Structures are given as structure tokens and as C-alpha cells.
């Protein structure tokens, strides 16, 4: 899917544990976050959390702060944001 997007000149950005992955090499920009049990030996981060929990929690904090900053810049609040919220279930 990412390659198809690039083929039609879509912009692709990525938040990942591994920017050297196949999709990581296609994305520009890519942001690396900690959290992979595979990189424990070479990481400065230690966690007792299972699998990718550290990555998922860090991802949540990153995107919450990006959204809060965008809300501030656009003069939005939780009420105006809620009107744009979609439940796709």
C-alpha cells in the first residue's frame, strides 16, 4: 500500500520503531520512537512491559501533544473538536 501511494506521488510519513524497515525507507519524514523488545540490547530504554506496550504508550503521548498544539494554533477546543469526531463502527 505504501509503495502504491508513493507511485502516485502521495506523501508518506511514518512513526515507527524501525525507520530502516521497508516502509521506513519509503517514508519522509519518519520519526523513531522507543519500545521494541528486539532492540533491547542496543537501546537505552528498559521496560518490563510486554511486547510493544512502551511504543504504543509513547505513540499516544506524541499524537496527543501534536493534536493539542494544532488545536491551540487553530483556536479549537474539545467541544469544537468533538463535532468533527467520527465513529466509524
- Angle at CA of residue 3, ends 5 and 56, nearest 5°: 85
Please give the helix or strand (H or E) that residue 15 lies within, else none. Answer: strand 14-16
Whole-number pLDDT of residue 55: 86
Q: How far apart are CA 37 and CA 74, in angstroms?
A: 38
Q: What predicted TM-score, i.e. pTM, was given to this entire model? A: 0.68
Residue boundaries of the structural domains of the chain:
2-82
Catalytic residue ranges: 56
What does the block give as the cell for 33?
520512537
What does the block give as the cell for 73?
494554533
pLDDT by residue for the chain (89 residues), tens only, comes to: 999 999 999 999 999 988 999 999 999 999 998 776 565 556 666 778 777 788 889 999 999 999 999 999 999 999 888 887 776 66
Whole-number pLDDT of residue 39: 57
Whole-number pLDDT of residue 84: 78
Whole-number pLDDT of residue 33: 87
- Please give the C-alpha separations between residue 28 and each of 19, 20, 23, 31, 35, in angstroms, as whole numbers: 10, 12, 10, 9, 21
Q: What's 2-82's CATH class?
A: alpha beta
Amino acid at each position: 500500500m505504501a509503495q502504491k501511494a508513493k507511485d502516485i506521488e502521495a506523501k508518506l510519513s511514518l512513526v515507527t520503531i524501525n525507520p530502516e524497515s521497508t516502509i521506513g525507507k519509503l517514508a519522509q519524514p519518519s520519526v523513531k520512537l522507543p519500545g521494541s523488545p528486539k532492540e533491547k540490547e542496543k537501546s537505552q530504554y528498559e521496560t518490563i512491559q510486554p511486547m510493544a506496550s512502551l511504543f504504543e504508550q509513547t505513540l499516544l503521548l506524541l499524537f496527543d501533544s501534536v493534536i493539542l498544539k494544532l488545536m491551540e494554533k487553530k483556536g479549537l477546543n474539545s467541544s469544537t473538536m468533538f463535532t468533527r469526531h467520527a465513529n466509524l463502527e
